[in-house]
Amino acid sequence: MALPLGSASAADLPMPAPAYRVPPPIPVYNWTGCYVGGGGGYGMWTQNSFVTFNGTPITASQSNGGNGWFGQGQVGCDY
């Protein structure tokens, strides 16, 4: 049996370097830990009220309310 020394085969041909692409990083969002926040919003309040005299209601219940803007600040921690 002849040794393969000196014989050429297709496997000996220089191969082009394999095309290699760095995969795009998978974004990781870390939802845990502590945070600070700031913002604002819009709110409304309503109330049901009646007048009492020495603890006894003397008027029917009234419904009132209002609305407006507010600012907000927050701290918290998530796990």
Partner 1 sequence: MQTVIGAFSDIEGGSINGSNSFPGFTGSEKESSTWAVGGRAGVLVTPRFLTYFDGGFTQARFGGVNYNFAFAGGGASGLSLAAQTYNGWFLGSGFEYAFDWLPISGLFLKTEYRYSQYGGNNGVSVPITGAVAGIPAAGVALNSQKATQFISTELVWRFNWFGRY
Applying CB under 8 A, which residues contact partner 1?
27-55, 57, 59-60, 62, 64-79
Q: Whose Cβ is closer to partner 1: residue 7's or residue 54's?
A: 54
Quick one: which of 41, 64, 39, 70 has its CA closest to 51? 64
* Nearest distance from C-beta of residue 24 to partner 1, angstroms: 13
Q: Whose Cβ is closer to partner 1: residue 20's or residue 79's?
A: 79
* Nearest distance from C-beta of residue 21 to partner 1, angstroms: 22
Give the separation between CA 71 and CA 43, rounded to whole angstroms. 10
Q: Pull the structure tokens for residue 70.
A: 């507010």
